[in-house]
Structure formats: structure tokens, C-alpha cells
Amino acid sequence: MSAPPPDELRELARVAAAADRILIITGAGISADSGLPTYRGIGGLYVREQTADAVPIEVALSGEMMRDDPALCWKYIAQIENACRAAVANPGHVAIRRIETLRPGCWTLTQNVDGLHRAAGSQRLIEIHGNVQRLYCTVCAHSERRADFEGLDIPPACPRCAGLLRPDVVLFNEMLPEPAVETLHGIMAAGPQLVISVGTSSAFPYIAAPMWQAREQGVPSLEINPDITPVSDLARYRWPLRAAEALPALADALEALVRA
């Protein structure tokens, strides 16, 4: 497949144009089109068994490691931030912002910490794994936003109290941020009328759950992913395409309908 099937594209644009509530779920695959590495799959960060420090990456990037050996944990966070630094939002991110503008009841649930949805202008955004550009002090109430980590000591100290600064991201074995979870629960309770899952391996239950709910409630759903995932069989439509080629086609078709 090199483009969405025209009949499916028309049908999904029609559903989106009539939907008051749309949920778009995104993962590392959408940012792969901006040149960022994914976590799993070919070239993924977790594909190698061990880091250079002889611990699995899930251990290096865990809440325990941030507490016990912040320098090691920060080393891998800084690598992720470094990969994000040159990246800019791609046509997939822009298409999601366009869909949000055309359909005000559209929300995006992202696992990405790279800030590219925000850079593309998305506002109804749930960053369920946080954002690497926000730092906060583990000791006092200081927090700050940094465009990048250029010139930052690793691990960085709080400018106010010299305590450890850390990024506002969800590390392994940490809780999800409460406000993000509450917003997501509200969306799920209201019941999205269209669910689109893009560029995620759906490794976590709260990411797969909206696709399950859509299936159970007979709500249309679409998966955009070149690979098969645990939610592939749940999706009513499946486009094995890159996010940056599939999403602009959907935004164009929706725009044509809404503006007609």
C-alpha cells in the first residue's frame, strides 16, 4: 500500500466530519518521520540487550536509577534529548493539528516526550509520559522549561537549592501523571466516536484500551502503522503506511468535506 485506499479514506473523512469526539493516539512511529529513533523494532533504542553501562535500557531509564545513580540515568535521558534536538515536526504532526482545528472535539494522546505535537500547534494534547523539555527539582518546588540541554551539567543541579533536577518524564516503574490520567478518563467516559492509533506498538494497556473500547462499542477505528501490533486485529481499518504519508491524506479529505 502506498496511499490510503480511496473508499476507506472517504468513509473515515465522513466519520471524522460527523464526530464530536475523536481520539488520536500517537507513539514514537510518528516522530520516526522526523528522524527520531523508535523504542522498539528495527533501529529501536531497546533492541540492544544492554546499554554501554551493562544494564538494560529499561533499568537505566527507571525511577530507581534516577534515585540511586542519577548520573547514569541522566546519561541516557540526555541521549534521548540529543536525538530530539535537531528534530522538527513533520507533516504527520501538522496533519493532526489540522484535524484538531477542523474538529474541535479532537484530542491527541501521545506517549512521546519530544514536544513535537506542541511544536506543530496541537493544544488538546495529553502527554501521558511527560515532556523532556520540562525540568523540575526533586527537592524544592523549582521548575523550568528548556528548549534543549545544551550546556547543562549532567546531572544538573537546581539553581535555587542545588538539589537534583530531573525531566518531567515518566521513567520505568513510575506512576503516570495524575492530571493526564484524569483527562484521559474523561475522554474515555464520554466515548470517542472515532479512534485513530498511529505509530505505536501499543505496549501499554492504557494505550490499547481506547482501541478495545472502540471495538466493543462498535465505534470506527483506524490503525496507521507499517507493522502489525497488538491492536491491529481490533482496528476496523488498517493502513500499513507511514504516519507522514497517511495523516495528511486524511486531513486533506476531512478539510474538503468540512469546507464543502
What residues are annotated to the active site? 129
Binding status of residue 227 toward ligand OAD by CB under 6 A: yes
Task: For residues 80 and 141, give the distance between their C-alpha atoms in angstroms, rounded to a whole number.
Answer: 25
Question: Shortest approach of ligand OAD to residue 258 CB, angstroms?
Answer: 25
Q: Does an H or E element contain 91, and which?
A: helix 91-102
Residue type, 129: H
Could you give the dihedral angle defined by the CA atoms of residues 10, 214, 31 and 84, in that order, rounded to the nearest 10 degrees? 150
Binding status of residue 226 toward ligand OAD by CB under 6 A: yes
Nearer to ligand OAD, 111 or 122 (CB): 111
Question: Shortest approach of ligand OAD to residue 225 CB, angstroms?
Answer: 4
Binding status of residue 238 toward ligand OAD by CB under 6 A: no
Site size toward ligand OAD, by CB under 6 A = 25
Binding status of residue 39 toward ligand OAD by CB under 6 A: yes
Contact segment (CB under 6 A) with ligand OAD among 4-12, 32-40, 66-74, 212-220 equals 32-40
Binding status of residue 107 toward ligand OAD by CB under 6 A: no
Enumerate binding residues for ligand OAD (CB under 6 A): 27-29, 32-33, 38-41, 44, 111, 129, 170, 198-201, 203, 224-227, 229, 242-243
